Amino acid sequence: MEYHDKVLKCAECGAEFVFTAGEQMFFADKGFKNEPKRCKACKAKRAEGGGHAASARTETKTNCSQCGKETTVPFRPTQGRPVYCRECFQQRRAMGAA
């Protein structure tokens, strides 16, 4: 297959960037199906933790399923699944490893 340079639009900043024929060949060799979504500058900024995904950490207050104590967890609990405070989680982990 013959590749030609393509001009793409960055999903982050909206700037146009070139997806070169060499990069397309590399993507094809690696089996990547999707074209890049971000320009090199936005990709680099995201890699060093400057992206939106890295800064949007969820903290949720809930009650421990084992002891009932109020606790904060770094995720949004799923209905029907137990959530444990740090102490109960560590205790269950230790029991599972033994």
Q: What is the pLDDT of residues 31-82, one digit of tens each?
A: 999 999 999 999 998 888 755 554 566 788 999 999 999 999 888 888 889 9
Smallest Cα–Cα separation from 35: which of 66, 62, 7?
7
Q: What is the pLDDT of residues 13-27, one digit of tens each?
A: 999 999 999 999 999
Q: Domain ranges in the chain?
A: 6-55, 60-97
Q: d(Cα 42, Cα 12) in Å, to the nearest integer?
A: 7
The answer, as to whether pTM is greater than 0.85, is: no
Contact between 50 and 57 (Cβ < 8 Å): no
